[in-house]
Amino acid sequence: MLIVMKTDATDGQIEAVIRVIEELGFRAHPMSGASRTAIGITGNQGSVDPSRFENLPGVSETVRVSKPYKLVTLDLQPVKTIVRVGDAEIGGDQLAIIAGPCAIESRTQAFAIAETVRRSGARFFRGGAFKPRTSPYAFQGLGEEGLKILAEVRDIYGLRIVTEALDEPGVDLVERYADVIQIGARSMQNFTLLRRVGKSRLPVLLKRGLSATLDEWLLAAEYIMSEGNYQVVLCERGIRTFSQHTRNTLDLAAVPAVRRLSHLPVIVDPSHGTGKNFMVTPLARAGVAVGADGLIVEVHDQPSQALSDGAQALTPEQFEQLVAEVRAIHDVIIPAAVS
Ligand code: PEP
Ligand code: MN
């Protein structure tokens, strides 16, 4: 259930409602929107008796939430969430661009790519220090040394750092060095990891699992939010299908589908979503055209030498061209979406 407060409800009235929820042994999730605050309730096994709340001062109405996800839903918050990372944001008017190598390989490599990313006007730098590789013999990332390089990139280039955590000790480290915790496709249903990042003060970029339905993906986001971290960005990165011409099938219909259900921002990963250099820019254009709030793109200064995912890495020149093209598309669709 969710409790919608009146537009003129006071902080004291909101706190009183939260107290009642907690006295019942449930968890309260207040979300303040542009015009009103709604308070989501989780932790209840059965339905909550609305009469307990209806007559409390400042309460406008109680709404039963029939969806399995109580916090991710638009019912709780009809306006889009803007995830703020320092002075950069995801889900606002600007297209968010997150770019960088698949893996941090060395300081020289990371700095060369960061130079390109900064020049493009993108605000976020990506790069894995802990890599979830299919083979245990493949390059696994530089670990903490990679995180230290990422922290230097942030200091020198002013870019916000997005990097993956594979496990709970990894989250502790990522929190120390980065700005956004990436939860990879393979970890989307690692529920203890989801709960751990739900307790983090950092925003979370949640990739869709390789074979996850929309509901499973949104419920993974719900795990994070249920622990009190509401700063979640969804990322469509392609799913497994019978198609042989791509590494994964980028499910662009997921973008408007999520939009209809959730207030969370959603971005598109055309790199893992195709696996092929020549497909990345066309699918990035398409992702922006269907209304994504941003893109996450792999870029490498020497793709043929890359220690992981070289086949899908853009060169610096290709990336610059991509940014120009997607910005042009975004400039056209934003006024169209408003009108
Ligand atoms: C990555 O971003 O490099 C990555 C491993 O992504 P995914 O979890 O989507 O495969
Ligand atoms: Mn990769």
Report which protein residue has its CA nearest ligand 1's atom 10: 185
Instruction: Average the pLDDT over 267-294 and give the result.
Output: 98
| pLDDT at residue 47, as a whole number | 86
Nearest ligand to the C-alpha of residue 164?
Answer: 1
Burial class (CB in 10 A: 0-12, 13-18, 19+), 125: buried
Report which protein residue has its CA nearest ligand 1's atom 8: 184
Q: Check pLDDT > 90 for residue 34.
A: no
Q: How would residue 333 be classed by pLDDT, with cut points 50, 70 and 90?
A: confident
Q: Is the dihedral of CA 233, 239, 244, 247 positive or negative?
A: positive
- Report residue 115: phi and psi, to 5°: -60, -45
Q: Check pLDDT > 60 for residue 339.
A: no
Residues 6+ apart with CB under 8 A from 177: 147, 148, 150, 151, 161, 163
Q: How would residue 266 be classed by pLDDT, with cut points 50, 70 and 90?
A: very high
Nearest ligand to the C-alpha of residue 312?
Answer: 2
Q: Ligand 2 center to residue 101 CA distance, Å?
A: 7
pLDDT one-digit tens code per residue, 52-111: 999 999 999 999 988 899 999 999 999 999 999 999 999 999 999 999 999 999 999 999
| pLDDT at residue 338, as a whole number | 55
**What is the atom index within ligand 1 of the atom nearest the CA of 182?**
2
Strand order in the sheet with 59-63: 27-32, 37-42, 2-5, 59-63
Angle between helices 254-261 and 214-226 (to 10 degrees): 50
Residues 6+ apart with CB under 8 A from 248: 210, 237, 238, 239, 240, 241, 272, 273, 274, 275
Tokens of 184: 């990879």
Q: Is the CB of 237 under 6 A from ligand 1?
A: yes
Q: Is the CB of 132 under 6 A from ligand 1?
A: yes
| pLDDT at residue 231, as a whole number | 98
CA distance 8 to 58: 7
pLDDT one-digit tens code per residue, 218-239: 999 999 999 999 999 999 999 9
Q: How would residue 323 be classed by pLDDT, with cut points 50, 70 and 90?
A: very high
Q: Ligand 1 center to residue 311 CA distance, Å?
A: 14
Q: Is the dihedral of CA 122, 125, 127, 130 positive or negative?
A: negative
| pLDDT at residue 335, as a whole number | 73
Q: Check pLDDT > 90 for residue 337.
A: no
pLDDT one-digit tens code per residue, 165-213: 999 999 999 999 999 999 999 999 999 999 999 999 999 999 999 999 9
Name the β-bridge partners of 3: 39, 62
Q: Is the CB of 185 under 6 A from ligand 1?
A: yes
Q: Ligand 1 center to residue 339 CA distance, Å?
A: 36
pLDDT one-digit tens code per residue, 23-33: 999 999 999 88
Q: What percent of the chain stands above pLDDT 70? A: 99
CA-closest candidate to residue 50, choices 65, 71, 70 = 65
Q: Ligand 1 center to residue 47 CA distance, Å?
A: 38
Tokens of 77: 């918050």
CA distance 152 to 148: 6
Long-range CB contacts for residues 60-66, cutoff 8 Å, separation at least 24:
60/4, 60/5, 60/6, 60/7, 60/9, 60/36, 61/3, 61/4, 62/1, 62/2, 62/3, 62/4, 63/1, 63/2, 63/3, 63/4, 64/1, 65/1, 65/2, 65/40
User: pTM here?
Assistant: 0.97
Q: What is the per-residue burial (b if ≥16 Cβ within 10 Å, else e) of 61-100?
A: ebeebebebbbbbebbbeebbebebeebbbbbebbbbbbb
**What is the atom index within ligand 1 of the atom nearest the CA of 184?**
8
**What is the atom index within ligand 1 of the atom nearest the CA of 208?**
9
Q: What is the per-residue burial (b if ≥16 Cβ within 10 Å, else e) of 163-186?
A: bbbbeeebbebbeebbbbbbbbbe
Q: Is the CB of 209 under 6 A from ligand 1?
A: no
